[in-house]
Amino acid sequence: MILEIVKYPDPFLKSEAVKVDSVDDSVRKLIDDMVETMYYARGIGLASLQVRDPRRVVVLDVPDEDEKEREKGKNLMALVNPEIVYSEGETIYEEGCLSLPGVTADVERAAKVRVKALDRDGKQIEIEAEGLLAIALQHELDHLNGILFIDRLSRLKRELVKRKYKKSLETEERAI
């Protein structure tokens, strides 16, 4: 089932997602719906708060750098209760977000991360990532703590991006 994506400035995006007690069928249903919604929206990742669900779940399918056409499902992962256990280095990447369509900005993050989580069977897993996957993991884990990529910008930059976003919403309304 395709779910509606919550858009900024909806206050739900600022809430803190809650830990999942056990990975049961209802969590697997949420994962499946989030995967379907992520592909429908052409995102590389999606966090539960973006579909108005408070449970700590993220899904990702980040294409390989040498991948020309996106191969659906190739790098698909679902993470329950994900936590960053180690990070190193710095990198800057131009990020976007399905909850703030139409705007992007350069965001500074760790270059490498190790993430601990549960998979869809409730099994403990650990992922080591660099490149775009490391960036997307940090972007999605931020969402679970109510943090958007614009919150990682300087105040001036953030105000500029917010103004641009609000302007694009207004023109979108006028076009209808």
Of 30, 136, 144, 153, which lies in the binding site for ligand GNR, with binding defined by CB under 6 A?
136
* Torsion 6-94-73-45 (CA) sign: negative
Q: Tell me which residue has its CB nearest to ligand GNR.
A: 43
SS (H, E, C) 84-133: EEEEECCEEEEECCCCCCCCCEEEEECCEEEEEEECCCCCEEEEEEEHHH
| CB hemisphere CA count around 145 (13 angstroms) | 12
136 binds, among Ni ion, ligand GNR, none (CB under 5 to 8 A by kind): ligand GNR
- Name the nearest CA neighbour of 56 among 132, 112, 6, 117: 117
The yes-or-no answer on residue 83 being catalytic is no
Is residue 135 a contact residue for ligand GNR (CB under 6 A)? yes
Q: Which listed range, 66-74, 78-86, 133-141, 168-176, lies at the site for ligand GNR (CB under 6 A)?
A: 133-141
95 binds, among ligand GNR, Ni ion, none (CB under 5 to 8 A by kind): ligand GNR
Helices (H) and strands (E) in the chain, counts: 3, 7
- The least CB distance from residue 143 to Ni ion, in Å, is 6
Q: Which listed range, 28-36, 40-48, 76-84, 165-173, lies at the site for ligand GNR (CB under 6 A)?
A: 40-48
- Name the nearest CA neighbour of 64 among 140, 111, 130, 127: 130
Q: How far apart are CA 101 and CA 161, in angstroms?
A: 11
109 binds, among ligand GNR, Ni ion, none (CB under 5 to 8 A by kind): none
Binding site for ligand GNR (CB under 6 A): 43-47, 50, 95-99, 135-136, 139-140, 143
Site residues, Ni ion (CB under 5 A): 97
